[in-house]
């Protein structure tokens, strides 16, 4: 998409320069009755707005409409256990909890972590980039570690390193279950290795945690899925509903070579909306407001990277212009970062459901938040608001909660300049955005273009916004990795649904004190390529350690680790979920 000059220059920045003075008004000797009435009415409107949107929702004295029943907005299901059983199947859970199996499970994950399946930006296709050869070793390890699974399931290698396993069910009329994870991990910068407590690819076990890159993102889920299938096969479980495993190998750099080929392969074989449920890595269980809340991701924010390139004449640095291209780029970045997106909670945003669940079940749910949420559910008078008061209040919980309700701006990459005595002729920066529910990538593109237009006019440059034109003395914009917010997975429980099966399995494992709530992913997973395959996509990490586990906070950084207890719970959950979804009578 390109924008014309009128659209670009229509942007008025919040800073830089003095706003124009208002036009002079006629001077009157006295206030007329018409002006008095007008001012009185304005005061009344302002007073009403203040009361309605500030004092009213924060006071206890008002009574407006019926009391909101948030439990009806956050319905919970009963614990769900498999009905079809046998002595061997009954023995699986005790086996998982035994000391002997614990040691086996530890070895499974340790050995997976030891294989450094790192992926890098800018890698070539399989067969051309030797850095991908490590995935041959990882595939061989899976085959050795899980012989029963490899015997029972067919394997298609898609685009060389994408692994697609099919465990054929007895009833081909039932939609399959699709379980996902990715084989790759983010790189470990050599400069950080001395700061790790254990080597990043050592797979060390300290008695509670397994340490290393990929231990919690997300070889734990991949290995946990394989362990569950191996245990089910040992118990002679034969699925009615086909089970598919899809493991990409470049999720950390966008998934284009892995999931980007795996999803079309499945689509061609099964067709659109052919999968009953998809489970991929994602959100887990945490303590929110004094209650345990499980938040499977039912949606993801969108994403867009905007690359800014500024070209200006070169020359000797002893005779510089007022601003070099680096200075102009710095000014543009400052304006982009300063003009933040509003905090806004769209009614379709899954975090709205999380707040409802908190109001319904959490003993420490904030009082002010409860009142604002209550007001949002009633037919209160609608006045023009500049701020979403509910979202603003909810954002006070943490920075993470804020970014569940706003489009983020992150300048992640910058480059330019070749020599200390030569003016930089070309500089670039990449601005990453994660797009809020209710916003679009086109809005992001237009906003950046308008800010760039203001800077260009100030410095006598031209703007080429998303048109592919390359010129000197210009600001060029290019949008890459454009992804709209994901379709929202249904979370109804009025009938047997994938959400109800997932919820019932979780509450059976951890107890009915766990509240199930739809969650929102701020990042993107490989499921971005699978939207056509199923309306029921969940990004979920079912492993939970009640003794505390900070693995989420260590993803993509030094000292990544996962507790063995959380990993064992992952194995246990997938065993039960595969059985429960196999029996589910869904429409």
Q: Where are the domains of the chain?
A: 87-285+523-583, 301-483
CATH of domain 301-483: 3.30.70.360
63-72, 197-206, 312-321, 544-553, range with greatest mean pLDDT: 197-206
pLDDT > 50? residue 140: yes
- Whether 43 has a pLDDT exceeding 60, the answer reads no
Whether residue 425 is annotated as binding a ligand: the answer is no
Whether 145 and 108 have beta carbons less than 8 Å apart is answered as: yes
**Total residues belonging to the chain:** 587
| Active-site annotation holder among 204, 227, 230, 251 | 251
User: Is 251 among the catalytic positions?
Assistant: yes
Beta strands in 168-323 (DSSP E): 177-182, 209-211, 243-248, 277-283, 285-288, 291-294, 297-300, 302-311
Q: H/E/C letters for each residue in 143-203?
A: HHHCHHHHHHCEEEEECCCEEEEEECCCCCCCCCEEEEEECCECCCCHHHHHHCCCCCCCC
Model confidence over 555-572: pLDDT tens digits? 889 999 999 999 999 999
**Per-residue pLDDT at 1:** 40
Query: Which residues make Cβ contacts (< 8 Å) with residue 262, sequence separation at least 6?
Result: 158, 159, 162, 164, 246, 248, 529
- 378 confidence band (pLDDT: 50, 70, 90): low
**Binding residue per annotation — 556?**
yes
30 versus 463: the higher-pLDDT residue is 463
On the question of pLDDT at 537 being above 50, the answer is yes
Q: What tokens does 442 get? A: 């086109």
- Cα–Cα distances (Å) from 223 to 206, 218, 250, 267, 551, in that order, read 19, 9, 17, 25, 16
Is residue 217 annotated as involved in ligand binding? Answer: yes
Q: Which structure tokens are listed for 356?
A: 């409802």
Residue 441: both structure tokens together: 């990538």
Fold of 87-285+523-583: Aminopeptidase (3.40.630)
Instruction: Report pTM.
Output: 0.86
Could you tell me what percent of the chain has a pLDDT over 90? Answer: 80
Q: What is the DSSP letter of 467?
A: S
Q: Where are the alpha helices (DSSP H) in 346-419?
A: 350-361, 367-376, 389-394, 399-402
Q: Is 401 part of any known ligand binding site?
A: no
DSSP string, 438-459: TB-HHHHHHHHHHHHHHHHHHT
Q: Confirm whether residue 129 is marked as ligand binding.
A: no
Report pLDDT for 387.
65
Model confidence pLDDT, tens digit, residues 433-466: 999 999 999 999 999 999 999 999 999 999 999 9
78 is known as an active-site residue: no
Taking Cα atoms as reference points, which of 144, 182, 242, 226 lies closest to residue 539? 182
**Which of the residue ranges 7-11, 25-29, 65-69 would you say has the lowest mean pLDDT?**
25-29
Higher pLDDT, 4 or 464: 464
> What pLDDT is recorded for position 61?
35
Provide DSSP, 8-30: HHT---SSSSPPPPPPP----SS
Mean pLDDT of all residues in 270-295: 96
Which of 184, 305, 388, 560 is labelled catalytic? Answer: 184
In this prediction, residue 376 has a pLDDT band, given cuts at 50, 70 and 90, of confident
Comparing 87-285+523-583 with 301-483, is the CATH topology the same?
no
**Under 8 Å between Cβ of 239 and 175:** no
Q: Which residues pair with 265 in a beta bridge?
A: none
Q: Round the CA-based radius of gyration of the chain to a whole number and report it.
A: 28
pLDDT in tens, 493-525: 999 999 999 999 999 999 999 999 999 999 999
Nearest to 561 by CA among 549, 571, 572: 549
């Amino acid at each position: 998409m390109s924008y014309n000059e009128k659209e670009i220059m229509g942007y008025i920045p919040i800073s830089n320069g003095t706003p124009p003075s208002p036009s002079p008004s006629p001077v009157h000797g006295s206030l007329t009755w018409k002006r008095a009435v007008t001012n009185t009415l304005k005061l009344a409107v302002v007073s009403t707005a203040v009361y309605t949107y500030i004092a009213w929702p924060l006071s206890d004295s008002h009574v407006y409409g019926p009391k909101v029943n948030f439990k009806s907005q956050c319905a919970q299901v009963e614990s769900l256990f498999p009905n079809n059983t046998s002595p061997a199947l009954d023995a699986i859970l005790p086996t998982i909890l035994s000391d002997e199996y614990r040691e086996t499970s530890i070895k499974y994950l340790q050995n997976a972590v030891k294989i450094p399946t790192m992926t890098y930006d800018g890698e070539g296709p399989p067969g051309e980039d030797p850095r991908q050869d490590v995935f041959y070793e990882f595939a061989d390890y899976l085959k050795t570690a899980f012989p029963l699974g490899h015997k029972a399931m067919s394997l298609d290698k898609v685009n060389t390193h994408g692994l697609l396993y099919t465990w054929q069910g007895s009833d081909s009329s039932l939609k399959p279950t699709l379980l996902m994870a990715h084989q790759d991990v983010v790189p470990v910068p050599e400069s950080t290795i001395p700061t790790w407590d254990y080597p990043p690819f050592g797979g060390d076990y300290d008695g509670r945690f397994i340490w290393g890159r990929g231990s919690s993102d997300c070889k734990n889920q991949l290995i946990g899925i394989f362990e569950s299938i191996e245990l089910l096969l040992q118990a002679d479980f034969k699925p009615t509903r086909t089970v598919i495993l899809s493991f990409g190998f470049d999720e950390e750099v966008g998934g284009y070579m892995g999931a980007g080929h795996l999803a079309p392969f499945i689509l061609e074989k099964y067709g659109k909306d052919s999968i009953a449920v998809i489970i991929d890595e994602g959100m887990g269980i945490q303590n929110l407001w004094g209650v345990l809340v499980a938040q499977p991701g039912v949606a993801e924010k969108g994403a867009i990277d905007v690359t800014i390139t500024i070209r200006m004449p070169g020359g000797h640095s002893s005779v510089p212009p007022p601003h070099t291209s680096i200075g102009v780029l710095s000014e543009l970045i400052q304006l982009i970062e300063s003009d933040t997106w509003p905090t806004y909670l769209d009614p379709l945003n899954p975090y709205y459901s999380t707040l409802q669940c908190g109001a319904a079940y959490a003993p420490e749910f904030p009082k002010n938040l409860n009142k604002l949420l209550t007001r949002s559910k009633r037919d209160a008078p609608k006045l023009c608001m500049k701020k979403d008061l509910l979202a603003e209040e909810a954002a006070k919980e943490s920075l993470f909660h804020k970014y569940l309700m706003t489009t983020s701006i992150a300048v992640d990459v910058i480059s330019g300049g070749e020599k200390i005595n030569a003016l930089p002729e070309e500089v670039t920066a990449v601005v990453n955005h994660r797009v809020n529910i209710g916003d679009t990538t086109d809005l992001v593109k237009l906003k950046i273009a308008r800010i760039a237009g203001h800077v260009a006019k100030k410095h006598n440059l031209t703007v080429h916004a998303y048109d592919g034109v390359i010129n000197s003395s210009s600001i060029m914009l290019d949008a890459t990795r454009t992804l709209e917010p994901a379709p929202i997975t249904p979370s109804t429980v009025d009938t047997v649904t994938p959400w109800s099966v997932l919820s019932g399995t979780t509450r059976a494992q951890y107890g009915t004190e766990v509240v199930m709530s739809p969650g929102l992913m701020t990042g993107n997973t490989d499921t971005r390529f699978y939207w056509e395959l199923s309306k029921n996509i969940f990004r979920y990490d079912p492993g939970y350690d009640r003794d505390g586990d900070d693995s989420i906070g260590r993803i993509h950084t030094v000292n990544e680790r996962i507790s063995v207890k959380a990993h064992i719970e992952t194995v246990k959950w997938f065993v039960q979920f595969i059985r429960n979804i196999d029996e589910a009578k869904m429409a």
